[in-house]
Amino acid sequence: MLTSELKPAEEILENLAQGERVFLVACAGCAEVCDAGGEEALRRLRKLLEEGGRTVVGGTSLPFLCNRALVSLRLGRCAQQLKEADSILVTSCGVGIQAVAAVSALVVHTASNTTTMGAFQGVWPSDERCARCGDCVLEYTGGICPLTVCPKGLLHGPCGGSHGGECELEPGRSCGWQEIHDRLEQTGQREMLHRYQPPKDRRRQLDVPLARRRSVFWALEYAEEDE
Amino acid sequence: MKLRERIERGEFIVTCEAAPPKGIAVEKALEEAQSVADYVHAFNVTDLQSSVMRMSSWAFCALLRGRGLEPILQLTCRDRNRLALQADLLGAWGLGIENVLALTGDHTTLGDHPEAMPVFDLDSVQLLDVIGKLNSGHDMVGNELDGATDFFPGAVVNPAADPLEPHIHKLHLKVSLGAKFFQTQAVYDPESYNVFAEKTAGIGVPILAGIIPLKSAKMARFMNDNIAGVHVPEEVIGELEAATSKEDRVKRSIDLCARTIQAVRPRCQGVHLMPMGWERHVPAILERAGL
């Protein structure tokens, strides 16, 4: 069980151009349980976008977006609708968003923040892909998480140790910011590389958020352990 | 005259790296710096370079100032969170240190304490923003300070980075966040430096080209294998290997540095020397380069 939440409406709309044709993807796994996924999230996002002057060309709710192979397969079935789309808007944990970006050449927008992975480990290795920072920046980094893909968690491009597309830490390890750069070039979003990202609010990373501690699911998990 | 004024007047600048001691041998380290003081406008004091634990950069900067030398405080994001970075910046200003070079820092695992926790709470671009805020009389969250700093902030870039594009994007961000000068990683290939210079021609911020003298062919190969972003071309290594004696090798090395400086001089506003223990040859390098 992990916790994700929809980003504020203004933040979601800010990143979608007027008239942008958007395909929606919502996770029907953990995200649905915390109201950030499933059919209900699809409905809310569709309403938000349409009222905001964006076009929704379609949408799908997939079980466990963290399963990259499954995402590839299921999105393949939506090929017709995806052809009409300028971009994909995803609500899921950070792993699911990256799974969609990894299997699609379209711009992937981020509709949610991930605050904890809790006990759930995901199907596509999750600890190494989502830092559950609670302030998702995948929107600006081509759907590749700079906090997990760069050992320094840099937010503004590669450090001086990046060379030949490789990280300074070990030979053979690719430079995360080279990957992000190449992806943003490929999706025509070069301007993202000139965008200033303010320092992160680290509080969101430090502890299990109160919202989760107070949730029914938290109580249920601990009730089980007591029995 | 201060470094800031010299840079703003368009003078050709010479800076030199001065590493704080690993230990307390302050006199020796200060003597090394003093020995080249007549040739150098300011000294970059490294901040636990290569993640090797040493005396603090700000402390050695203050010691250099005590000798009448102008320091540039190198400040990395590796070992301090945003509180400590701001505190050290205020402390540095209090000690009379005016120049700051904002760096990300090498990763902890590359140094002599690989078990250490890497911090990286901020990155170099955000650090430049923080310096700008302190200069405006506020901390990074907007609280008013009792008096504003007036730091002269600089940043770094590797002109030999390959692929170069992501680094150029970051350089532009650093300019927009207030970098007033750039110092570069070591240059050995003037041609690739020229490609970099062309791509950065319009930034309006002076660039000081990095120079590291090669003590031997072995050192050149070691750097190629171990220092990310440094590439010494084979022809250069060949010139060192062809040396007939130790004296000849030193002469060739000095000559290589001087030729590099002459080649990049039209496309930079200064050089940044990293002598790595070869302080005694700095005068010869600069004289041969015609500076």
Please report, for the domain that includes residue B46, its CATH number.
3.20.20.220
In a domain, B73, yes or no: yes
Q: Give the total number of structural domains in chain B.
A: 1
Considering only CB atoms, B163 lies closest to which of A152, A178, A190, namely A178
Residue A80 belongs to domain spanning: 3-202
Distance CA B170, CA B219 (A): 30
pLDDT of B71 reads 98
Residue A125, number of CB atoms within 10 A of its CB: 12
Tell whether B248 is covered by a domain.
Answer: no
Count of domains in chain A? 1
Render A196-227 in DSSP notation, one character per residue: --PPP-THHHHS--HHHHTSHHHHHHHHHHH-
Q: How far is A65 from chain B (nearest CA, A)?
A: 30
**Residue from A79, A63, A74, A73 nearest A31 by CA:** A63
Question: Does A151 sit within 8 Å of B118, measured CB to CB?
Answer: yes
Please provide the average confidence, as pLDDT, over all residues in chain A: 88
pLDDT of residue A1: 45
pLDDT top residue among B170 and A116: B170
What range does the domain containing B276 cover?
3-214+269-284
Query: Tell me, what CATH number does A130's domain have?
Result: 3.40.50
CB contact under 8 A, B106 and A156: no
Whether residue B255 is contained in a domain is answered as no
Task: For residue B259, tell me if it sits in a domain.
Answer: no
From chain B, pick out residues whose CB is under 8 angstroms from the CB of A199: 82, 121-122, 126, 140
Name the token pair of B67: 């000798």
Query: Between chains, do A156 and B165 touch, taking CB under 8 Å as contact?
Result: no
Distance CA B216, CA A87 (A): 54
Domain assignment of residue A157, yes or no: yes
- Number of A to B CB contacts under 8 A, please give it: 95
- What's the CA gap between B231 and B1, in Å, rounded? 35
Determine, yes or no, domain membership for A127.
Answer: yes
Interface ipTM: 0.86
* Residue that wins the pLDDT comparison between A221 and B117: B117
In A, minimum Cα distance to B119 occurs at A152
Bin B51: left if φ > 0, else alpha if -120 < ψ < 50, else beta.
left
* B167 chain-A contacts, CB cut-off 8 A: 157-158, 162
CB B96 within 8 A of CB B126: no
Nearest residue of B to residue A181, measured between CA atoms: B166
The region of weakest confidence among A115-129, A166-180, B233-247, B273-287 is: A115-129
Predicted TM-score (pTM) of this structure:
0.89
**Could you read off the pLDDT of A91-147 as tens digits, one per residue?**
998 999 999 999 999 999 999 998 876 645 556 666 678 888 889 999 999 999 999
A168–B110 CB contact, under 8 Å: yes
